[in-house]
Amino acid sequence: MKVQQPGRRIGIGIAVGVLAIALAACSPEEQQAANTGNSSPTPSVSTTIQPTNSPQAVQPSVKPSVKPSAQQLSSQKTVQVYWLKSSGSKIEVVPAPVKIEAGVKSENILEGAFNRLLAGPNDPAYSSTIPKGTQLRNLDVREDGVHVDLSQEFTAGGGSASMTGRVAQILYTATSINPNTNVWIDVEGKRLEVLGGEGLVLDQPLTRQNFEKNFDL
């Protein structure tokens, strides 16, 4: 009669229990592969997920358009430059509008107007008695009026009509922004009191009102 070996039976039971636990931990596919003995691997399927911050997923931002201001659209100012025009036996002082590239300050606008005036008229219907070569040395807009400083050429040549006409051109152009302002005329930094050989006396400051009262073209 054989005698059973208790230790061997216990060892087989432990092995069966461990195998059952291992099978329980496996996935159903792995359990099926283990039961059927199929050792071929299950093909894997890779899925590519496109990140939301990829260039294709980002829509370009559109900035709202900003309308430029009126000052940005054009920095030009309209100012009157005064020429002389024959009308029968008389000479008239006539305005001509010009566009000046200038800032908001009156000095800048008037400087542009005087530079245009001293360059002479483009229209043959107009004339100027301001001698060629006359330059604007300085221009200031102060509390007491507009101060204009011209070069020495301003006093050269001409009779009384020529002297009166050039003074009128300076005066009216200097008051194109404010017709009621006072005007002071200097030549080479000195106050102009008498103009020309015939002695055209200038009581300064000049205004449009006193010029029309005391002078005749």
Which three-class secondary structure state does DSSP give residue 41?
A: coil
User: What is the predicted pLDDT for the residue at 37?
Assistant: 47
User: What is the predicted pLDDT for the residue at 103?
Assistant: 67
**CA angle, corner 56, sides to 53 and 62, nearest 5?**
85
pLDDT along the chain (217 residues), means of 10: 42 45 48 47 44 45 46 68 90 91 80 95 94 96 96 92 95 96 97 87 95 88
Let me know: does 195 contact 167? Beta carbons within 8 Å. Answer: yes
**CA angle, corner 134, sides to 146 and 192, nearest 5?**
50
Nearest to 167 by CA among 125, 135, 128: 128
User: What is the predicted pLDDT for the residue at 124?
Assistant: 92
